[in-house]
Structures are given as structure tokens and as C-alpha cells.
Amino acid sequence: MQNDTQPLNDTLVSKSLSAADYVPTLDAMLARTLERIDLKKQQGLRTPDELWIVDHNDVYTLGQAGKEEHILQRTDTPIIKTDRGGQVTWHGHGQLVLYWLFDLDSLKWSVRNLVSHAEQAIEDVINDCLRSSPSSSDNISAHARRDAPGVYLYADTAATDDSTSTDDNSLDNKIMLGKMASLGFKIKHGFSYHGIAINLNCDLSSFNAINPCGYAGMQMLRLSDFVAMQTDSEQTEPDAQTEPDAQTEQTEQTEQQMSDSFSYETVTQKLIDNIAKRHAGLIELRAIAPK
């Protein structure tokens, strides 16, 4: 498990963890949160907030009030009871997990503000990818729902039927395709931890063993099915045994594919940048759509 820490602004740092097992990551996250609470209470110190970017090894996690009835099939993947909100979900490679270790009181954020910032940051990045990708359909967009935390993809039937654009924030005339991002936080003495999970290019079959987030039949989606995302093979060097002319053509084709596609790292950086701007007060919350 690698640990790489980078400053994002004066009061926010990022920490990257790869191939991270869930339990030691949770233990470290809780220990850091308790340490920050103690420093603030005992010494009045405001410590920098932390955004943890995590690539988890396969795991199912069951929230604090989670019901085991939502686990439909037992597999070799461990099931860990945890202290976040929400029901059961899966984490693993190809899914982007970000843990928000934020001092909400210092940010003057309510818990509702935290959830809305998280959902709207995801909306911003997914919709930017959808708009920027030549392979994406123009009538698909990402939206949060008031009745179920997370971010979902919708198809705009009005845009399909008559080529007219509807209000982007309204879910009228939109059909929900499924869920792409989940969230669950824990708040302790005004400090948040846990966070969000976005399916980028992961294997979605792991969700078949559960009712994702407690919703039977919920269709889980991944970004790579809606925009072109680079594969490991596209990022490798051309075959050294290929003839020079063919090698040049192969390189040009690869470069074109890469210019028209997103990498896991590019999407991750887009989301980090958006969250850092929100943390610094540079992106304000949009009005929340009514239920």
C-alpha cells in the first residue's frame, strides 16, 4: 500500500493509497480523525483537511445500520461491517474512492452541504466527461436524487424525441439508467470521514451478489461504458518487432485513441481539482432540486 501526500491548498492535502485493504485503511482514517478532534479540543489547533484517494482491494462493506439481507450471495470477497451510513456496497480496482476527512465546523458546512458538495462534484466531472467524449450520447447526463444519495445517469427522452433541450437540472422527461456513484459519510464531533465511490472501469459483476446500497434490482453503471477510457494496452509502447512504417501507424492510432479518451488518472485529477475548489470556496453549491 503506497502512501503519497500532496498539498492541494493551504488547508487541504491529498493522500493516495493503492492496493489498499479496507480494515487498515478504515483504522488509519478513524485514528487520524480522532487525533484531529483531540488537537482541536485540547490545543485549539486547526489541522489541514485531508482527501484520501484510494484504490481498494476487493471488499464488500456494510454500513452501520446495514441489513445482511441485502447480501444475496456469499463469495470469497470479504464482508466488513463499518461505521459509515448506508447499506452494503462493493469497492475494488477500477473504482475511484475518495475519503473526505474534513473539519465541517471550520468550513462552515452543514452535513447537508457536505453531501451536496460531494454529489455536485461528481455530477460536474461525469457530465464534463460525457460532453467532452466523441463516443458519448448527447442525451445522457448525471444527476443526484433527493430521495436516494448518490449520482445516477439519466437519458433525456425529450431530447431524443424532438431534438429540443430540456432544463438540465430537471428530471422531468428523463429516464434513469442506473447508478454510477455512491456515498456514505460518518460525522464525529463535526469532523467527517468516509466518502464517495465512482465506478470508472471496474468489473460490475461484483454488484450482482448484493442489493447495492440496499436497493433491490438497482442497475450499477460505470463511466467506461459511456465514454472512451484508456486501457493498459493503449498506454504501452509499440511492439519492437513491428516494421518501422507499421510501428509509426500503430503509434499514431494509439495517440488518436488516447486523445479521444480518458484515463483513470485524468478523471481522478478532474475530481480532485473540483473538490479542492469547493473546499476553498471557489465553487458554490447549486440550488438543490425539489423531491
Q: Across the beta sheet with 49-56, what order do the strands follow?
A: 3-9, 12-20, 49-56, 95-101, 191-199, 174-188, 151-156, 140-144
Choose the catalytic residue: 96, 104, 140, 213: 213
As a dihedral over the C-alpha atoms of residue 93, residue 267, residue 154, residue 119, rounded to 10 degrees, the angle is 90
Helix, strand, coil abundance in the chain, percent, nearest 5:
35, 30, 35
Give one word for 44, left, alpha or beta, with left for phi > 0 and alpha for psi -120 to 50.
left
Joined together, the cell numbers standing for residue 271 give 475530481
213 is catalytic: yes
As a dihedral over the C-alpha atoms of residue 163, residue 168, residue 171, residue 174, rounded to 10 degrees, the angle is 30
How far apart CA 127 and CA 145 sit, in angstroms, is: 15
Ordered alpha helix ranges (H), the chain: 22-43, 104-107, 111-132, 157-162, 244-259, 264-279
Q: Show the CA angle centred on residue 226, arms to residues 224 and 229, nearest 5°.
A: 35
Strand partners, 4: 16
Q: Are 197 and 183 in contact (CB under 8 A)?
A: yes
Size of the chain, expressed as the number of residues it contains = 291
**Which residues carry out catalysis?**
213
